[in-house]
Structure 1
């Protein structure tokens, strides 16, 4: 068997011609390298299934790894302290628990991951901006449906904020967590929300699919600048509210 001009080949179909120059039959075995799909550590860490199934698979507490671009989302229940005062611990916690369940379902549905809960607040991550904005709309729709269906004395109203940028992943309190300026900004942006709305930075809004998805949902966008506590520069913010009363 003679191979002529061995080396790199162009992409697309190739024809292999084999000639047996001997007088006896010969066996021919072809071996090839199979290309396996790959994923990054950042993508794995932002997958809810990984966090559910491999929660103990952590990086060393002495190590960190940098993530170039990640969507950080924070949510919180509007008036949660007053909710406990009005309903009492047991009834209020039932609503809070249902709220966690709804958020986790929506985050998972749109390929994100819940990182942690902080009191009544939730921190979640998404690798893809389109997934994140779809999840934010879906969350608000889900709570509209829950409130209409359950007709409890008190509706669950959530405040939502998001930002996208670089951060670092670390192990904190036996859990894979994220830290950095992007996380801080996302948390502060959520503080600008008044409930039944969506607030995020313009840098997130400028991601190509985000603006298209916002326009398709027919929510009213208000653009403004805000000074966020602990953040040096004023940031461009986008505040979304539904055009019709909800």
Structure 2
């Protein structure tokens, strides 16, 4: 078993790499997926080998939401759920399991920020993100789809090769997302410390379709599908449900709300 990947350097600090990637995206620069994967490998290796600690901050999201309390905002909400974590918990020592799950969560955070989104929170082995779509929902929808694609790419080409070197189980994810208006809710009167969250149908739908996804599958609601570029639509096909797997109805049409699966 190889002890470490070839020519691994010290990882760039998490805050720096996120700033570099996010500023590049906003400035119209090219999103360099290969660099993202390379940095992922460095951080994951360093985490397993040297106890490298990630930055778990959701300060960017917190600051944004606190500036918009009680407002309704169009968003794409994304759930990213680590598949097979229960079996992994039975195979690995607790400290290694913790390192792997934390590495997974933070690498998904980097990809979300890389594509202009925010991380709302971490829930167990899942990451919940959102993409604000006030100005250009079509572009934001494309960004969210590309984010999901890159997440799987980062896991398969960035994280899993490092885990394999240490004979750890490889990771896979289930990703679901939906578009809609969500209200920003603050639970309490303290403008700084009170818990803050988002509520809306798209949150519930994204969670439900994620639970129905297969490992390394991306599912999107029809309100996302309608907004993405035709070249991305070609990557999806409508899911045909069986045995009452899915019963959510579109509020406007009364018909079963469509869910689309990406074929990678």
What TM bracket, shorter-length normalisation?
Answer: 0.5 to 0.7
Q: CA RMSD in A?
A: 2.8
Equivalent residue number for residue 64 of structure 1: 70
Residue 207 of structure 1 pairs with residue 227 of structure 2: yes
Q: Distance in 1 between matches of 2:112 and 2:126?
A: 14
Cα deviation code 1:198-226 (max 9, x no counterpart): 011122112142x42354xxx56353357
TM-score normalised by the chain length of structure 1: 0.67
Cα deviation code 1:86-131 (max 9, x no counterpart): 1121111111011012101100100000000111111100121111
Give 1:32-181 correspondences, 5 Å limit.
51-52=58-59, 55=62, 59=66, 64-67=70-73, 69-127=74-132, 128-145=140-157, 146-151=159-164, 152-172=167-187, 174-181=194-201
Q: Distance in 2 between matches of 1:241 and 1:208?
A: 15
Structure 1 residues 184 and 52: CA distance shift in structure 2, 3 A:
same
185, 191, 195: which one pairs with 2:211?
191
Equivalent residue number for residue 4 of structure 2: none
Which structure has more helix as a fraction of its residues? 2
Secondary structure of the structure 1 residue equivalent to 2:171: coil
- Answer whether contact 1:224 1:236 (CA < 8 A) is retained: no
- Answer whether contact 1:74 1:190 (CA < 8 A) is retained: yes
Structure 1 residues 149 and 213: CA distance shift in structure 2, 3 A:
farther
Q: Distance in 1 between matches of 2:113 and 2:124?
A: 20
- Answer whether contact 1:58 1:174 (CA < 8 A) is retained: no
TM-score normalised by the chain length of structure 2: 0.63
Cα deviation code 1:147-177 (max 9, x no counterpart): 1233142011111000001111112483431
User: Which structure 1 residue ranges, 4+ long, deviate > 6 Å from structure 2?
Assistant: none
Q: Distance in 2 between matches of 1:108 and 1:221?
A: 27
Residue 84 of structure 1: CA displacement? 1.0
Query: How many residue pairs end up in the alignment?
Result: 187
Any unmatched runs of 5+ in structure 2? 1-56, 133-139, 188-192, 251-255
Which structure has more strand as a fraction of its residues? 1
Q: Distance in 2 between matches of 1:75 and 1:55?
A: 19
- Answer whether contact 1:161 1:190 (CA < 8 A) is retained: yes
- Answer whether contact 2:163 2:169 (CA < 8 A) is retained: no
Cα deviation code 1:66-93 (max 9, x no counterpart): 11x2100001111112211111211111
- Answer whether contact 2:61 2:118 (CA < 8 A) is retained: no
Structure showing greater Rg = 1
Q: Which moved more, 1:74-83 or 1:174-183?
A: 174-183
Secondary structure of the structure 2 residue equivalent to 1:224: coil
Q: Distance in 1 between matches of 2:118 and 2:102?
A: 17
Give 1:235-246 correspondences, 5 Å limit.
235-242=257-264
